[in-house]
Amino acid sequence: MIETLFMVSNPNLNGRRHSLPFLNQENRVLDPKKSQNIAILLRAFNVTIEEVCEALLEGNLDTLGTELLESLLRMAPTKEEEYKLKDFKDESPFKLGPAEKFLKEVLDVPFAFKRVDAMLYITNFDSEVEYLKRSFETLEAVCQELRNSRMFLKLLEAVLKTGNRMNVGTNRGDAHAFKLDTLLKLVDIKGTDGKTTLLHVVVQEIFRLEGSWLFGTNQNQTAD
């Protein structure tokens, strides 16, 4: 019993035993999580490696589709992973996992992932153009609204007057204009009490100049 429990194991035997690879052992080139995610995606899309490679070679958008192209871009290997996959020999006693095998086949297509990127650009082109058109139309409408806004013009006037008042006696105290990004800084400039901001002063200036008009507008809206 004692001899069995406390016997000295032969390190050479153990070393030889572990040095022999299992023939069914998989060679995981990719990060385990990435490999698993790719394998899941491949099962979800239900396409063969041959179909994907052929579609990439021919630029066939119908076979792949937007969703699969986006997934392929997410599968793209790093430079190190690409090198290892291309360097892998078929006669190796280790087998590639499903994800690694898929990427190795895809990498045999010249500029495979550049093709994916280009095909995805073509697929999304019309929708992207339409989105940009709507965005510019919205921007143009907002700009037109601001140009016609009495209160926005009064806001600009109040900011200019307040700035000139604060900078009186300096070379910046007689300004005729200011940059629009100045409006974003109004809340950051604080008085000596640490609470009152320049925005408070500007609002007070607007009420001083336009208070009667503002209250009159509100009363008319309430009456309506």
156-190 confidence digits (pLDDT tens) = 888 888 888 888 888 777 888 888 888 888 888 88
Task: Kindly list the distances between the CA atom of residue 73 and the CA atoms of 2, 36, 110, 215, in Å, as whole numbers in the listed order.
Answer: 60, 16, 15, 58
Helix H or strand E encompassing 211 = helix 198-223
Output the pLDDT for position 65: 87
* Domain layout of the chain by residue ranges: 20-131, 149-218
On the question of pLDDT at 83 being above 60, the answer is yes
Q: How confident is the model at residue 34 (pLDDT cuts 50, 70, 90)?
A: confident
Q: Measured at the alpha carbon of residue 121, what is the angle toward residues 61 and 107, in degrees to the nearest 5?
A: 65
CATH number of the 20-131 domain: 1.20.58.630
Paired tokens of 146: 């601001």
Mean residue pLDDT of the chain comes to: 80
Paired tokens of 59: 């630029």
Collect contacts of 30-35 with beta carbons under 8 A, ≥24 apart.
30/77, 30/81, 30/97, 30/99, 30/100, 30/103, 34/99, 35/97, 35/99, 35/100
> Would you say the pTM of this structure is higher than 0.75?
no
Paired tokens of 126: 């019309």
